[in-house]
Structure 1
Amino acid sequence: MKIRHVLVAAATTALLVPASALVAVAAPPNNDTVSGARTIASPPKTITQNTTSATTDSVDSDLNAFCGAPATNGSVWFKYVDKSGKGLLVDTSASNYATGVMIVAGNPTSGGALVACGPGMAAATGAAGTTYFVMAFSDTAGVTGGQLKATFSEAPPSPTATLTVAKDAVATKNGSLKVHGTYSCTNADSFNSAIQGQATQRAGRLKINGYFFIDGLTCDGKVRAWKATATSDNGYFASGRATSSSTVFACGLLECAEQSVDRKLTVTKAH
């Protein structure tokens, strides 16, 4: 009878185990750590992956000391050997959660260096044969991951920029100076491309300085006209001689191109 009581008690105890304790925990993905990095053979390549069971570790936090992302949750790893030296662009902005990307030249567990990081996108260029390790992660505290959509492609070509400044300028009735010329740029974002400069004219012992800035350049490779008005807070431009120093800069995802031009100006008075 004692044995029967024990068996009944054991069976009753088993029935009282909470259902939550029987739920299996999903295993982390194979590329949860650097050692399991998924190889990208040749871009362009788009990978979709569920990262809700991914984890984070000290490698992530050590790299983030140089990046400064709000969080490095649910990280997954990829590896790409850049045989051509054209670089790598990684875009995770189409994921259904806020993501961050870090690109490391070399293995981060054995001396690799962080070369690029950013929210939703990052890109890097280096010598042919460079091995890049890419970490995609959730950059939101409290969010492990979601449906990651990562597109790997070659880095965009370097931007170019050229500038000319015409020698003729016009002093307006309010004392400002109108200057003009042409520009051309390629492989750049118009919102990060501009022309800025300074015009200088002597009036006796006084040096009149005026400044100008125009942005939103169209970087399609065509030669386009530009014009700007230099305004001064210490005097009025007049007919005669003047000089200008102008710079065009055009910035792409990775870098900027710029050209500076110094010009002697012949100033006429506006009618």
Structure 2
Amino acid sequence: MRAPRLLVALAAAALLGPLGATTASAAPTNDTSAGATAVTSLPTTVTQDTSTATTDALDATLNEQCGAPATNGSVWFTYTDPTGDGLLVDLAQSDFTAGVMIVQGDPTAGGFLVACGPEAVAVRGEAGTTYYVMAFSDTPERIGGTLVASFEPLPPAPVSTLTVDPRATAYKDGSLKLTGSYSCSNANGFFSDIEGQVVQRVGRVKIAGFFFTSPLECDGAVHPWEAFAFSDNGLFAGGKAANVSIVFACGDFDCATTAVEQSVQVSRNGK
């Protein structure tokens, strides 16, 4: 009777085996850029389990330019910007430390990385531009988790203007005072500045000095500015000087720049 009992036990084991076995969970459909999930409007929030997502050679190639600690559990999205107003991707609400890369165009067909960083990055470009967005775990020990990806429009772009007065003043200590006016809006004044270089030939010596002034009042109104240029290789004197001035008005995600290149007439001690 032992043989029949053994056959019955083996048959039962064979029946139970498939039912008790575990199978690997499939990777998400947007595990690669070819299956990227399309985001069609802003704002949009996508919540997704990325614990079975993978990483591949494309991730590694893009990360050569980004330098994230890891690109584990990466998933992909696409968005075509109809207006050129830009795109903000925010992953801060995910339950793991997340990073994001934004590629302009198809990353497998000549697209190039335009933004990357932890938690949130933004990009602004031409209307009609298609972006591929890769969200991933940047922790080497963790594949992924609950990804919460918010796709949002950017605030209005910073705007700036700049003028440089045609006359400057050289002082006895060799410094040179420049003045002018500026305006900026949609920007954070503490991250905005006016800077530049002044070059003047005094005899056989070419004097070069740099100037800088910050913060700015970025309220849209026109404000005066002044700055002092100092040189390490001589003293500014009366005469003409070539000036290059730039105003940087920076918001949370991008900056506006306005450059002015002109000659200024330098008076000695204000005379």
TM-score, normalised by the number of residues in structure 1: 0.77
User: What secondary structure, in the 3-state scheme, does the structure 1 residue paired with 2:236 have?
Assistant: coil
- 1:39-78 matches, within 5 Å, as 39-78=38-77
What are structure 2's unaligned runs of at least 5 residues?
A: none
Amino acid of the structure 1 residue aligned with 2:50: T
The one of 106, 114, 117 equivalent to 1:116 is 114
Q: CA deviation at 1:136?
A: 0.8
Give, in whole Å, the separation in 1 of the partners of 2:173 and 2:214. 23
1:133-190: CA deviation from partner (whole Å, max 9, x where unpaired): 3211112322212332222123454433221122443334433222222112234454
Whether the 8 Å contact between 1:86 and 1:155 is mirrored in structure 2 is: yes
> Do the aligned residues in 1 keep the contact of 2:53 with 2:75 (CA within 8 Å)?
yes
- Conserved 8 A contact 1:106-1:131: yes
How well do the aligned residues superpose, as a CA RMSD in angstroms? Answer: 3.5
For residues 265 and 96 of structure 1, do their structure 2 counterparts lie closer, same or farther at Cα, with a shift above 3 Å needed?
A: farther
CA–CA distance in structure 1, aligned partners of residues 126 and 200 of structure 2: 45
Q: Which amino acid aligns with 2:126?
A: G
Query: In the TM superposition, what whole-angstrom CA distance separates every residue of 1:76-104 from its partner, at most 9, and x where no partner exists?
Result: 12222333343433222443433222233
Q: Compared with structure 1, are the counterparts of its residues 223 and 76 closer, same or farther at alpha carbon in structure 2 (3 Å cutoff)? A: same
Distance 2:123 2:203 in 1: 53
Output one character per residue of 1:213-263: Cα deviation in whole Å (capped at 9) or x when no partner: 23443433222222211112233335x334241222335535642212313
For the residues of structure 2 that align with 1:201 and 1:65, how far apart are their CA atoms?
A: 43
1:29-57: CA deviations, max 9, x gaps? Answer: 34333344322221012223332232223
Paired amino acid for 2:233? N
Structure 1 residue 75 displacement after superposition: 1.0
- Equivalent-residue separation in structure 2 for 1:178 and 1:168 (angstroms): 9
Q: Normalising by structure 2, what TM-score?
A: 0.77
Q: 1:231 maps to which residue?
A: 230
Q: CA 1:189–1:24 in 2, change beyond 3 Å: closer, same or farther?
A: farther
* Residue number in structure 2 paired with 1:178: 177
Offset at residue 117 of structure 1 (A)? 3.0
SS in structure 1 at match of 2:180? strand
Q: Which amino acid aligns with 1:194?
A: D
> Residue deviations 1:9-39, cap 9 Å, x none?
869x99xx9xxx9666554334333344322
Question: Partner of 1:261 in structure 2?
Answer: 261
Q: Is the 8 A contact 1:96 1:147 kept in 2?
A: yes
The equivalent of 1:134 in structure 2 is 133
| Structure 1 unmatched runs, 5+ | none
Q: Report the residue type matching 1:262 in the other structure.
A: Q
Q: 2:242 and 2:187 mapped to 1: Cα distance? A: 25
Correspondence list, 1:25-104, <5 A:
26-104=25-103
